[in-house]
Structure 1
């Protein structure tokens, strides 16, 4: 059986909102800690690890990983592809799930579905179909050997090292790619649950508060239902928690 490992790429040096992943989503639970707790027992995933950088400012991320009982891999700040290969080496991963740390509501059910379809079809790269899910709730599954090939290719550009899977996405005919379809009620690409600004941080806090007020779980079905019901998909709009 292939070993599948989910890797959260995380660093403190965000250009627009530095340190955002350690900002609280609710109470004293940070965006990153919340995501770790949601994803650590995802069906079909053998381990969850955090890949951060060797920069001193990212020591706090390594400390968070330790508190959450997760292994951490540290590598280059700019060579994110290299970090994923290091994480694969450390965890003996045959298959990797790529997760960014600025989307706290990423759904383990979505990841589990993509992993299962990836295995069933013998794919090299899998993601949800375009337009089928909100931004920040998607997942990428990729075979480690494919990333190794890209990493070892002397023609690999800095852009490809920063964005990890962009060569695959821009050259889909060169790989066995799979797009996973989801139900019609989840076709909301206009919703954005990622955090890159202070307004977006406040928006995801409002979503969490609104879900709590309704006693709804923070899964993709209920988040889409909430945003559709309130017709609020942008951080600047108000009234979500009412």
Structure 2
């Protein structure tokens, strides 16, 4: 039976907000810990692992993984592609789910649907259709053999090694690619739930506290509904302040 593994790529280095993934989202729960707890059980996924670097500053990520009961794979800081191949070797994965650590609200149900459709269609690479979900809530599924092929290709560039799946995305005719449609209510590419600045960190904290105050679950549908409610007000406030 094929093994499907979800891999969170994580490191402490960040040019604009160093250590952001260990900043608290709420109470004493960091962005990375929150994400691990949300994604440790995804239908159709056999295991969740963290792929970090061998740098000393990333020892804290390894310690967090141990505390959360999640296996960790450590490899090159810049060659993220090789880290994913190492993670596949460690877990005997046939299929990988690529997850970035700066987006705490990744939705297990979105990932589960992508995995199921990927397997049903015998795809080599699967993602939601462009514009169908907010940034930071999308998912990527890729076959390990595809990443091994790219990793072993001497023509693979540093950019392709850093961004892991970009070679597939930029050459879709060379692979069996599948894009999935999602309901119109989720078509909000203008929303960004990833964190790269202090302002974006404050924004996701506000999203979490607002959902909690309403008693709403943290899923893609409720996040989009919340943003549709508050985004016009935020835009008006920003306009009046300018």
Shift of 1:34: 0.2
- Taking the aligned partners of 2:59 and 2:194, their CA distance within structure 1 comes to 23
Tell me how far 1:235 sits from its aligned partner. 9.8
Q: What is the SS of the residue equivalent to 1:231? A: helix
Post-superposition shift, 1:178? Answer: 0.2
Structure 1 match to 2:75: 75
How far off its partner does 1:229 sit?
A: 1.4
Cross-structure match for 1:111: 111
Bigger mean CA deviation after superposition, 39-48 or 224-233: 224-233
1:1-52 residue CA offsets vs partner (Å, 9 max, x unmatched): 2100000000000111000000000000000000000000000000000000
Q: Which residue of 2 aligns with 1:211?
A: 211
* Residue in 2 that maps onto 1:26: 26
The answer to whether the 8 A contact 1:199-1:236 is kept is no
Say if 1:237 and 1:208 are closer, same or farther in 2 by CA, change over 3 A: farther
TM-score in terms of structure 2 length: 0.96
Matches of 1:119 and 1:68 in 2, distance apart?
28
Separation in 1, partners of 2:235, 2:45: 32
* Change in CA separation of 1:138 and 1:233 when aligned onto 2, cut-off 3 Å: farther
Equivalent position SS for 2:130: coil
1:123 to 2:123 alignment: yes
TM-superposed CA distance for 1:72, in Å, is 0.1
Give the match's secondary structure for 1:99: strand
The question of whether the paired residues in 2 share the 8 Å contact of 1:191 and 1:234 is answered with no
What value does the CA root-mean-square deviation take over the aligned residues?
A: 1.4
- Structure 1: gaps (5+ residues): none
Matched, 1:151 2:151: yes
Segments of 4+ moved more than 4 angstroms: 232-238
Q: Distance in 1 between matches of 2:111 and 2:26?
A: 24
Per the alignment, residue 4 of structure 1 pairs with: 4
Say whether 1:224 aligns with 2:227.
no
Q: Is the 8 A contact 1:200 1:235 kept in 2?
A: no
Q: Which runs of 5+ in 2 are unaligned?
A: none
Structure 1 residues 18 and 233 mapped into 2: Cα distance closer, same or farther (>3 Å)?
Answer: farther
State the partner residue of 2:62: 62
The number of aligned residues is: 238
The structure carrying a bigger helix percent of its residues is 2
Q: Give yes or no for contact 1:51–1:75 (8 Å, CA) kept in 2.
A: yes
Higher deviation after alignment, 71-80 or 227-236: 227-236
Quote how far apart the aligned CAs of 1:231 are.
Answer: 2.4
Which secondary structure state, in structure 1, belongs to the residue aligned with residue 142 of structure 2? strand
Confirm or deny that 1:43 pairs with 2:38: no
**Other-structure match for 2:175:** 175
The residue matched to 1:188 in structure 2 has which SS?
coil
Change (3 A) 1:66 1:235: farther
Secondary structure of 1:137's partner?
coil
Report the Cα offset of residue 230 of structure 1.
Answer: 1.6
